[in-house]
Copies of this chain bind each other. A is one copy, B any other.
Amino acid sequence: MGDSFGNLFRITTWGESHGAGVGVVIDGCPSGLPLNEEDFQNELDKRKPGQSKITTQRKERDIARILSGVFEGRTTGTAISVMVTNEDAKPHAYDHLKELYRPSHADFTYDKKYGFRDWKGGGRASARETIGRVAAGAIAKKLLHHWNNIRTIAWVEQIHDINSSVDKKTVEEKQIEASIVRCPDKDASEAMIERIHEVRKSGDSVGGIIRAVVRNVPAGLGEPVFDKLTADLAKALMSLPATRGVEFGMGFDSVKLKGSEHNDPFVMQEGVIRTGSNRSGGIQGGISNGEDIDLRVSFKPTATINFEQNTVTRDGQEVKLKAKGRHDPCVLPRAVPMVEAMINLVLADHYLRNQKRFL
């Protein structure tokens, strides 16, 4: 009981890594939005395995099919069902994992919670589940574009210990997409690609940090005291596989400043109230203030590695595990569209939730 997300723009995802397919039902999309299957494909292609030499080589075309909720090219206002058929089913590729727990995977916890688990390729815990999120995020993105030209831009800021230098005020999708690791800093991008090749060769993996900004957010989004925009974004992002932390504006580094150094002074700019700095990351008191939203998410190194590891079997025997075959040494490039999707889902939901008022 946790397969739905959102309040007024609400998604429910379904599907396992090696079942019939994966999909999503979107409830609450306003009627009349032009929508077709191509709207999904650009986003799905960004998260697709096998898109470049540095990602997992699982072969999937990930073609989205709209099953309901769109009539004559426009959304009807009722449930939109989108499905992607699984193609790369290798029924026996995971047989050796059936009885043992891969370290830092969800195998053990699913077994403890549900009494048994779908052990084929991660089952429900597979990142393949995020296809439904990314498809739904593509609709949210379109809505946000229509409403206020709200645009979410995410990129890989750090891989392992390789950091980058990016101007968050001006960076555009084109620069990000020019890098197969989705880091718009060219030098860093090259170093990151090299690092990923290294760890792939050694059978190891690396994690990293994705940064995202959202531009043109109107002031007023966020529902205190619990559904603050920070709170809902944090939940959305921490529901992605492999995430370990999230921070807004100056985040953990805000601790190093005093109040007099951290506060964002209000100023007038072209007749509009703005803040002179944006250490708050665009959200104050849990509500957007009209400045760019600025956040960072950390992803741990992928748990699947081609190393021999100590583990135990379901019945409690200590054994050695050595994963076979393809592994994804770094999920970060493919996580960029997932991060964007989750942010867009939260913003579309909050845009719809922002209540009528009498003043």
B101 touches A259 (CB 8 A): no
The answer to whether A33 has its CB under 8 Å from any CB of chain B is: yes
Complex-state Cα separation, A170 to B205, whole angstroms: 33
A264-319 CB contacts (< 8 Å) to partner B: 264-268, 271, 273, 275-276, 279-281, 284-290, 298-305, 307, 309-312, 316-318
A27 touches B15 (CB 8 A): no
Q: Which of B146, B223, B280 contacts A1 (CB 8 A)?
A: B223
The answer to whether A183 has its CB under 8 Å from any CB of chain B is: no
A31 touches B235 (CB 8 A): no
Residue of B nearest to A1 (CB): B28
The answer to whether A3 and B359 touch (CB under 8 A), given A160-B258, A265-B310, is no
Complex-state Cα separation, A71 to B116, whole angstroms: 9
Fill in one digit per residue for A241-272: 1 if any B CB lies within 8 Å of its CB, else 0: 10111111111101111111111111110010
Complex-state Cα separation, A307 to B265, whole angstroms: 12
Complex-state Cα separation, A6 to B41, whole angstroms: 32
Number of copies of this protein chain within its complex: 4
The answer to whether A204 and B114 touch (CB under 8 A), given A268-B316, A357-B32, A359-B74, is no
B255 touches A32 (CB 8 A): no
Residues of B within 8 A of A238 (CB): 228, 230-231, 233-235, 246, 248
The answer to whether A184 has its CB under 8 Å from any CB of chain B is: no
Residue of B nearest to A304 (CB): B259
The answer to whether A30 and B257 touch (CB under 8 A), given A223-B2, A227-B2, A268-B318, is no
Residues of B within 8 A of A275 (CB): 103
A3 touches B25 (CB 8 A): yes
Residue of B nearest to A245 (CB): B247
B115 touches A357 (CB 8 A): yes
Which of A243, A305, A317 has its CB near the most chain B CB atoms (within 10 A)? A243
B248 touches A245 (CB 8 A): yes
Complex-state Cα separation, A115 to B32, whole angstroms: 7
Q: Which of B69, B239, B266, B355 contacts A312 (CB 8 A)?
A: B266
Segment among A44-52, A55-63, A75-83, A171-179 that sits at the interface with chain B = A75-83
Q: Which of B12, B104, B312 contacts A273 (CB 8 A)?
A: B312
Which of A67, A224, A286 has its CB near the most chain B CB atoms (within 10 A)? A224
Complex-state Cα separation, A10 to B336, whole angstroms: 31
Residues of B within 8 A of A281 (CB): 244
The answer to whether A353 has its CB under 8 Å from any CB of chain B is: yes
The answer to whether A3 and B206 touch (CB under 8 A), given A301-B259, A303-B259, is no
Segment among A87-95, A118-126, A185-193 that sits at the interface with chain B = A118-126
Complex-state Cα separation, A28 to B227, whole angstroms: 12
Residues of B within 8 A of A4 (CB): 4, 10, 12, 27, 226
B266 touches A112 (CB 8 A): no
Residue of B nearest to A76 (CB): B118
The answer to whether A43 has its CB under 8 Å from any CB of chain B is: no
A105 touches B247 (CB 8 A): no
Q: Which of B101, B235, B256, B285 contacts A105 (CB 8 A)?
A: B285
Residues of B within 8 A of A68 (CB): 14-16, 19-23, 124
Q: List 20 A-B contacts (CB under 8 A).
A: A2-B228, A13-B225, A15-B79, A31-B113, A32-B116, A68-B124, A74-B116, A78-B225, A106-B285, A108-B284, A110-B287, A124-B224, A146-B358, A204-B260, A227-B239, A230-B243, A231-B235, A235-B235, A245-B246, A252-B298
